[in-house]
Chain A
C-alpha cells in the first residue's frame, strides 16, 4: 500500500501575486482587499496558499468561477509564469526531493519536456499552427532528445491514430483543422513523451457538445489505459463529475473546499460551492 501513498505531484503554499503588495495588504488578509484585489496598491492576489497532492492514476479536478485563479495555477505548474512563493515536488523528478520552482530555467524546460504534458484551452498556445500535426508531436520528441525520424514518424502516427486523427491528414497543419481536431492533436502532443502527469486547462470549453463528449471520452480512455495522473481545470461541473476523482473548489485565489467529487457535488459545504452546484442546469 505504501507505494500508492507517494503523491506524483505535491504543491505546498503556492502564491502568485501581480503587483508588489503594500503594507495594507501584505499577508493577503486586510479590510482594503476587495475579493483578491488591493484597493491601495492595485496588487492582485491570483493564488493564495494553494496546497494539494496528486496521487498516481488520479484525476484531480479544479473548479471555480472565472478569475478565481485556476488558470494562473496551471500556468505556474507548467512554468509559463513564475510563482511569487511556494514549492512543488514531482515524484518522477529527483525523487521528489527538489523544489521545481527553484530549478533553473533549463531544468524547468527539461521537466516540461520529460515529465509533464499540458493541453491548453486555446490550441494556439499549445501547437505550432503552421507546422504539420506530426511535426508538432515530433517537436516534443526532439525536445526530449530523439534524433530518429523513423521512430518519431511511427510514434506520431500511432498517437494521432489514438486520438482519431485520420492518417492521411497527419502531415497537414493544425490551422486547417476544426477546433475539436486541434484539441485532439494537442492531447496527442502532450502524451508523446509518456508523461506521468498531464495538465488539462479547460480542454473542452468552446467545443460543441458532441465533440466535447468525444474529447472527454478520449481523455477517460487514455487515463485508464496509461494510468497517468491528471490535473483538470474546468468551470463546467459536468466535466468534473465525469472525469475527476477528487475536486478542489477555488474562489478568489483560495481553495475553499476540497474532497471527493461526489461529496462536493452532493453535499457542498461552502456557500459558494452550494451556489455553484445549485446553478447546475
Chain B
C-alpha cells in the first residue's frame, strides 16, 4: 500500500462531497445529482465517475471486485483495481458473492446481487433525453416537469425505421414511477435485474459530473409501448462453449478457422466458477 496518498487517494473533504451527492441521489431514485467531479490519474471517459464513487465509499473492510464488460481481467478493470488497492490496501476478489463493492463497466454480474452489496456503474452519458434535446437547461426542465415524450419518441423512431426497438444497450428505464434514467450502457438483458434489486446500485458519470442511484427494492421499468413490448436479448437454444451455461448473457464469437459462430459467457468470473464446479465433480 502506498502511504504517500491519503486513504483511498482523495482527501477527506472530497470524499465527503461525493458521499453527500450520493446520499441525495439515493434519496431521489433516478435523479441526476450534479457533483464536483475530481481530476483523476486516469482520463475522463475511462470510468472516473465510477472510480470516484468507489473511492469515496470504500473502507478498510471492503472486498472489491472490478469488471469491465463482464471481464475481471481487462486492462481497464485491472488498472482501476490496482489504483484502489495501492491507496487503500483492501482485498480484491473475482467472486461476485464475496465482494461488498463491485465497480462495473456495462454489465450487471450474472450472480444475483445480495443485500448489503453496492454495485457502482460507470456512465458515459447520464442524460436519457440528450439526443432528443441538446440543451442541458431544457432537459433539466423536462425532468422537472416529468415530460418524457422525448424518450418514447426515440424508441418510436427506431420502430419506424427498423421495425423494432433497437437499443443495444442503455435502454431507458423509469425509476420509481418518476424519473427516466439512462441505466448506463448495460445490455437490455441486464435491465430487468435492476427491478426490485437487493443491492444498492450507484451510477457515476465523471465527465458529465453527475451521480444517480437505484436504491434497493426500487421499481425499475424499461420503457416500451402497448403493442411493442420491451424484450431483452434472447439466447434461446444457445449455450456457453466453455461451461455450457444457458440463460446467461453470451458473447457471439466467430471462429474463422472453422467458419463457425460460437457463444461464450460474457461474465468471465461466472464462467470460471461454473467450470470449477464441474472439475470438483470430476475429482470425486
Contact = CB atoms under 8 A, between A and B. Distances in A.
Task: Say if A and B assemble together.
Answer: yes
Contacts of A135: 153, 156-157, 160
Contacts of A128: 132, 153
B98 interface: no
Given A147-B226, A149-B227, A149-B228, A139 B160 contact: no
A131 interface: yes
A142 B149 contact: yes
A182 to B, nearest CB: 18
Nearest to A171: B160
Contact of A109 (B132, B145, B161, B227): B145
Contacts of A171: 160-161
A150 B156 CA distance: 10
Size category of the binding interface on chain B: 20 to 34
Size category of the binding interface on chain A: 10 to 19
B149 to A, nearest CB: 4
A199 B161 CA distance: 31
A134 B147 contact: no
A280 B149 CA distance: 45
Interface string A114-147: 0000000000000010011011001100110001
Contacts of B160: 132, 134-135, 153, 171
B159 interface: yes
A194 interface: no
B217 interface: no
A132 B158 CA distance: 10
Given A134-B160, A171-B161, A147 B153 contact: no
Contacts, number: 49
Interface string B215-231: 00000000011111000
A148 B156 contact: no
Contact of A142 (B145, B152, B224): B152
B16 interface: no
A255 interface: no
A132 B157 contact: yes
Given A149-B225, A153-B160, A142 B146 contact: no
Nearest to B157: A135
Contacts of A142: 149, 152-153, 156
Interface in B175-230: 224-228
B156 A105 contact: no
A131 B227 contact: no
Contacts of A105: 141, 144-145
Interface in A147-193: 147-150, 152-153, 171
Contact of A148 (B149, B157, B225): B225
Interface string B155-173: 0110111000000000000
Contact of B149 (A106, A132, A139, A149): A139
A105 B149 CA distance: 16
A147 B147 CA distance: 14
Nearest to B151: A142
Contacts of A150: 227
B157 A147 contact: no
Given A132-B161, A171-B161, A149 B156 contact: yes
B146 A106 contact: yes
A66 to B, nearest CB: 28
Contacts of B149: 139, 142-143
Contacts of A148: 225-227
A106 B132 CA distance: 19
A150 B145 CA distance: 27
A223 B226 CA distance: 32
A128 B131 CA distance: 11
B222 to A, nearest CB: 13
A171 B141 CA distance: 29
A132 B161 CA distance: 9
Given A148-B227, A171-B161, 10 more contacts: A105-B141, A128-B153, A135-B153, A135-B157, A139-B149, A143-B147, A143-B149, A148-B225, A152-B156, A153-B160
Interface of A: 105-106, 109, 128, 131-132, 134-135, 138-139, 142-143, 147-150, 152-153, 171
24 contacts: A105-B145, A106-B145, A106-B147, A128-B153, A131-B153, A131-B157, A132-B157, A132-B160, A132-B161, A134-B160, A138-B156, A139-B150, A143-B149, A147-B226, A148-B226, A148-B227, A149-B159, A149-B225, A149-B226, A149-B228, A150-B227, A152-B156, A171-B160, A171-B161
Please list the 10 inter-chain residue pairs (A to B) with the smallest Cβ-Cβ separation, ordered nearest first: A143-B149, A142-B149, A142-B152, A148-B226, A135-B157, A149-B225, A147-B226, A139-B153, A106-B145, A138-B156
